[in-house]
Amino acid sequence: MNRFNMPWASEGSPWYDFDFGGAHFVVISTEHDLTTGSTQYEFIINSLQNVDHDQTPWIIMAGHRPMYTVSSQDLKEQNITDTLQAYLEPLFRIYQVDLALWSYHHSYQRTCPVYRGNCVDGGTVHLVVGTGGAQL
C-alpha cells in the first residue's frame, strides 16, 4: 500500500494549511484540543489572519467530525460538535470561512450558509462528505 506524507505544520501536530488555486485550506484535527489558547486554536487563528483575500478569495476548512449534522450523535460526538460550535464557529464568521468539509458520517449532507444554527447571509456552508466506502 502506498501512503502520502501529510503536510503537517510540525512533527506530531496533525493540522496544516496550504493554498491551492484561489483557495486557502485549513485542515484541523477534531480529535485534539480546539479550545482557546490551545496550540491548534492558535494555529487556526494565525492561518486565518494571514489569508491574502486578493490571492486566495476562498477559505475552506476541513476536519473529521462535523460541526453540523442531521445524523444521530453519541455523547462524545455531541461534545465535539459543541466545542466546534463554541470555539471555531465565531472564527468562521470573523474570518469569512466559505466552506467547511467534514466526514465521519457515511452520508452526504449540506447546509445553507449557516451561523449559530440559522441560515444567514455570509455564513459558512457545511458539507459532510463521508461517503468513502459507504453504500448510498
Answer yes or no: is 64 within a domain.
no
> What total of structural domains would you count in the chain?
1
Answer yes or no: is 72 within a domain.
no
**Residue 53 domain boundaries:** 16-59+77-129
The model's pLDDT over 43-72, given as tens digits with 9 standing for 90+, comes to 999 999 999 999 999 999 999 999 988 766
Q: Check whether 99 has a pLDDT greater than 80.
A: yes
Answer yes or no: is 7 within a domain.
no
Kindly report the pTM of this predicted structure.
0.85
Q: DSSP characters for the chain?
A: --------SBTTB--EEEEETTEEEEE--TTS--STTSHHHHHHHHHHHT--TTT--EEEEE-SS-SS-SS---HHHHHHHHHIIIIIHHHHHHTT--EEEE-SSSSEEE--SEETTEE-TT-BEEEEE--TT---
Answer yes or no: is 5 within a domain.
no
Answer yes or no: is 22 within a domain.
yes
Q: Check whether 73 has a pLDDT greater than 80.
A: no
Residue 9 confidence (pLDDT):
56
The model's pLDDT over 1-22, given as tens digits with 9 standing for 90+, comes to 565 565 555 566 899 999 999 9
Answer yes or no: is 1 within a domain.
no
Answer yes or no: is 121 within a domain.
yes
